[in-house]
Amino acid sequence: MFIKFNLKNKTLARYLDLKEPDLSAVLNGKRRINIDLALKLEQYFGIEAEIWLSIQLKNEVIGGAGKGRGEV
């Protein structure tokens, strides 16, 4: 994801004040981008937090397509 920036997960985790396994979980879709992380990403990359959260929501919708149909 961050190849264009020539960043290693360890370096990015340090910049974002995250543990490397936590960043890895986000990158692998096993952990959500929350508001706090979205704000850190905005500060680091200059991409608005709303966009990061929108990406997260879109991934959840796509990942959940077909799951739980009929449940309320």
Query: Which tokens hold the place of 38?
Result: 């979205």
Residue boundaries of the structural domains of the chain: 3-64
* CATH 3.40.47.10 is right for the domain spanning 3-64: no
pLDDT band at 72 (very low <50, low <70, confident <90, very high): very low
Above 70 in pLDDT, residue 67?
no
User: Do the Cβ atoms of 10 and 24 come closer than 8 Å?
Assistant: no
% the chain with pLDDT above 70: 82
**Lookup: tokens for 40:** 């850190």
Kindly report, residue by residue over 25-59, the tens digit of the pLDDT.
999 889 999 999 999 999 999 999 999 999 999 98
- Give the span between the Cα atoms of 27 and 46, in whole angstroms: 18
Cα separation, 38 vs 51, whole angstroms: 8
The gap between the terminal CA atoms of the chain, to the nearest Å, is 34
Q: Which residues contact 8 (CB under 8 A, 6 or more apart)?
A: none
